[in-house]
A and B are shown apart, each in its own frame.
Chain A
Amino acid sequence: MTAVDTTTAPRPSRRGTAHQKLLAFASLIALVIGFSLASPNFFQVSNIMAILQATSVNGVLAIGATLIIITGGIDLSIGTLMTFCAVMTGVVLTWLGAPLIFGVVAAIGTGALSGLVSGTFVAKMKIPPFIATLGMMLILKGLSLVVTGTRPIYFNDTPGFDLISRGSLIGWVLPGFPVPNGVLILFLVAGFAAWILSRTVLGRYTFALGSNEEAVRLSGVNADAWKMAIYALSGAIVGIGGLLIASRLNSAQPALGLGYELEAIAAVVIGGTSLAGGRGTILGTLIGALIMAVLTNGLRVLSVAPEWQTVVTGGIIIVAVYADQLRRGKT
């Protein structure tokens, strides 16, 4: 019996995300070179560390957002959830006076729980992710204000709390490299998320759901349960973001948070993850977050007014996604 030879069938070239990452990475390098040439103050160890530090919170949030976006969803509650997690850490550490580790657990636990709730709205109650997380965004914002009575909670009584983000474990071991802990945590979270996506069943279903949810269901997979798990994981990661921002400010600022979700989504999109779902990488998101931080920092070093920085950031998002479209368009 002859084997069916269908190799003559035309096969569109493989359009992986590899190209996109390359493109994003090249833009990052170009930006760094450009700013270095434009200003001698840019490429300094202290400034690079500042950029990395500035990336850490947005980067962690963007990693959480990446998971949801790959399932074909969107999460608008990221920013206010970050704040709510910081607030809960404050409640546990400052108000209850619990040891530091409980503050960490509170942040991550609150995030996971909130993610689970969003996940339930989306998976079980079939509320579109945009609406479900829009509701969650407002609920969490309100809860932060209610719990704190609109006043910040300070962590002055918890020695070492600010070291979570600002200390430097690496600098302690290798004095030449004062990499802040916040950055270390960002890379650990990124490594973990990348591992989940590429090596585990949960990661497989993340892509599968974004690719064709009905097919996943018909294959006998409990699609709803897995989706809820992904939302919970994403929430836990956002909780880490909450911990980082609280540590950096040494306080939980209940009014903060709105707008962070859009920055996170922007980083994801610049990193080449498709809002249609099914495709995306953590590395791309990291590069996207770095591009945004380099841009903000570089423009500031060049003394561009903050108003204009916002305009430029918006433009970059459009250019990044358009470049991706162009590349995809031509076969």
Chain B
Amino acid sequence: MRHSSLGGGAMTRLVRMEGIDKVFPGVKALDAVDFDLLAGEVHALMGENGAGKSTLMKCLSGVYQPDGGRILIDGKPVSLPTPRSAQDQGIGIIHQELALMRDLTVAQNIWIGREPRKSFGRLDEAKLNADAAAIFDGMNVKMDPRTPVSSLTIARQQMVEIAKALSYRSRVLIMDEPTAALNDTEIAELFAIIRRLRSEGVGIIYISHKMDEIRQISDRVTVMRDGTYVDTVAAADTPIERIIAMMVGREIQHSDIAIPDLSGAETALEVIDVSRGAELKNISFDLKQGEILGFAGLMGAGRTELARAIFGAEPIDRGEIRVHGKPVRIASPSDAVRKGIGYLSEDRKQFGLALGLDVRANIGLPSMGRHSDRMGRINEGKLSEVARSYIDMLRIRTPHDAQEVRLLSGGNQQKVVIAKWLLRDCDILIFDEPTRGIDVGAKAEIYRLLADLAKRGKAIIVISSELPEVLRVSHRIAVMCEGRLTGILPGGARQEEIVALATKREGKTAA
């Protein structure tokens, strides 16, 4: 008799996807893709924007129906016609685009569809809240389950999504870019949760564009390119460079930051003593033409608030803003755009895109004036031409420029936002998390683009939660903490200096 090594500890295959096809009008999103998942492993799924990662996972979670191929769970072929049927098979998913009900509370969101009930369809609100609180305790996250989701920041909303996925007690947990909006502490917490689930035998599919995370957390890596399966490798003995090469199928040039001499340059933007409530406290800095000023800080440090204040999206209580030396009052975003200030929001879905419009219209939105005649008639030909040039330049993966933006992959939507502001040709550009959800290849292109824009005399602010990114692009680095500007460092500063400033609380000196 064979000695069973297949007992408890051994890895059993939970999921097997074979030859999955998925066709959308004009796009073959998946072409005979294979994938498998073992119990107790973290399996990273990698690929450029639009490679088909989210689509493959939507097939596995009952959102999309594959046009070909089959899905086996525990070795048995299954059909997953609805999200519910996938849940019943023990498959949970955190979608790339947050899927929360803003007007409901945290706990109500987590238990939607599975509310604890009393008789007559009555809800057991007390149990609902208590159960949600227990999940957050397990995650080691402070969260009041009664808070309405609409009042949470994106990072906090992401935490709710994670809690919701955990609540299913799934055997298969899919995480589609869960860390895109999280800071380092939160990511560490998430990884602790992932490791614990893995040790309990849960199979985890992990999608991310952050290369260092793949190294830290994953056991195996499957790479996709252009809707096809490339290879599956062990994470431990495959160099990151090789994974990237498989993803992009070409070389990526790394350009080191060259800090230009800006002593003679004109000052484009001066912010003097700007304050608002508890969010912004006496902020002063200036920005020269041709300069890239990075803003580092923890989530909630006030960087986005500052950007929105400069852009006129939020009022300021005190202080002055000068553009090219002239004091200005910026009453609204349209005012800001007229004065040559552009802002790329961190929340592209809410503020950055008209999801129902096509790519061309979105790119042209802030600059319709230049693509229409005096009667207000839009010159579609001209607009289409420039839109296509930006599609090429940023490698936006779309079948044509008349595709609705909501049908693009997450990363490609982000590129459309960037294209839109590039076309508007503002003097002062504020990029808030410009590479969120963007693949390595496109990231390198965006960094190069930022450098080019600076060379052409644009004044640029880049807000990023990823320190390596701030270091990579900035000529100077401003650091914020709790609404204050705690310091401005020269480009190429050491990471520790930035972290010290980012955690420098009021009244205390940095350790």
Contact = CB atoms under 8 A, between A and B. Distances in A.
A200 B62 CA distance: 27
B300 A217 contact: no
Interface in B96-120: 99-104, 108, 112-113, 115, 117, 120
Contact of B140 (A3, A200, A221): A3
Nearest to A220: B84
Interface stretch (A9-17, A39-47, A238-246): A9-17
A126 B137 CA distance: 41
B87 A12 contact: no
A201 B101 contact: no
Interface of A: 1-14, 199-204, 207-208, 210-212, 214-222, 278-279
B452 interface: no
B299 A6 contact: yes
B99 A7 contact: no
A220 B93 CA distance: 11
B305 interface: yes
B interface residue count range (under 10 / 10 to 19 / 20 to 34 / 35 or more): 35 or more
A219 to B, nearest CB: 5
A6 B113 contact: no
B157 to A, nearest CB: 11
B83 interface: yes
B300 A8 contact: yes
A14 to B, nearest CB: 6
Given A201-B123, A207-B101, A211-B101, 17 more contacts: A1-B140, A8-B300, A10-B279, A10-B302, A12-B150, A13-B151, A208-B112, A210-B103, A215-B112, A218-B95, A219-B99, A219-B112, A220-B83, A220-B84, A220-B86, A221-B113, A222-B84
Contacts of B86: 220
A9 B103 contact: no
A208 B104 CA distance: 7
B137 to A, nearest CB: 9
A45 to B, nearest CB: 38
Nearest to A199: B122
B161 to A, nearest CB: 10
Interface stretch (B185-193, B255-263, B321-329): B185-193
Given A211-B103, A216-B112, A218-B99, A201 B117 contact: yes
Contacts of A8: 300, 482
Nearest to B277: A10
B99 A215 contact: yes
Nearest to B185: A4
B500 to A, nearest CB: 17
B100 A279 contact: no
B151 A6 contact: no
Contacts of A13: 151
Given A8-B482, A12-B151, A218-B63, A201 B115 contact: yes
A214 B83 CA distance: 11
Given A4-B140, A9-B300, A204 B123 contact: yes
B103 A10 contact: no
B167 to A, nearest CB: 11
B156 interface: yes
3 pairs of A and B residues whose beta carbons are closest in the complex: A278-B103, A9-B300, A220-B84
B495 interface: no
21 contacts: A2-B185, A4-B141, A4-B186, A6-B142, A6-B156, A6-B186, A10-B153, A10-B300, A13-B151, A200-B120, A202-B121, A204-B123, A208-B101, A208-B112, A210-B103, A211-B101, A215-B99, A219-B112, A220-B83, A220-B86, A221-B113
Given A4-B189, A6-B142, A204-B123, A216 B101 contact: yes
B152 interface: yes
A218 B83 contact: yes
A219 B103 contact: no
A9 B102 contact: no
Contacts of B123: 199-201, 203-204
A225 to B, nearest CB: 12
A248 to B, nearest CB: 32
A10 B302 CA distance: 8
Nearest to A221: B113
Q: Which of A4, A13, A14 has the most CB of B within 10 A?
A: A4
A14 B148 contact: yes
Contacts of B102: 211-212, 278
A4 B99 contact: no
A327 B156 CA distance: 26
Contacts of B82: 220
Interface in B20-38: none
Interface string B173-192: 00000000000011001001
A2 B189 CA distance: 9
A214 B300 contact: no
Contacts of A2: 140, 185
B155 interface: yes
A251 B117 CA distance: 43
A286 to B, nearest CB: 21
Contacts of A278: 101-103
Nearest to A274: B103
A215 B151 contact: no
A141 B434 CA distance: 55
B101 A9 contact: no
Nearest to A203: B123
B369 to A, nearest CB: 27
A250 to B, nearest CB: 36
B217 to A, nearest CB: 16
Nearest to B142: A3
Nearest to B304: A10
A222 B83 CA distance: 9
A208 B156 CA distance: 19
Nearest to B153: A9
B104 A207 contact: yes
B155 A6 contact: yes
A183 B99 CA distance: 42
A212 B63 CA distance: 16
Contacts of A14: 148, 151
Given A11-B151, A208-B101, A5 B142 contact: yes
A76 to B, nearest CB: 24
Interface string B130-145: 0000000000111000
B390 to A, nearest CB: 28
Given A207-B101, A212-B99, A220-B83, A4 B142 contact: yes
Contacts of A200: 120-123
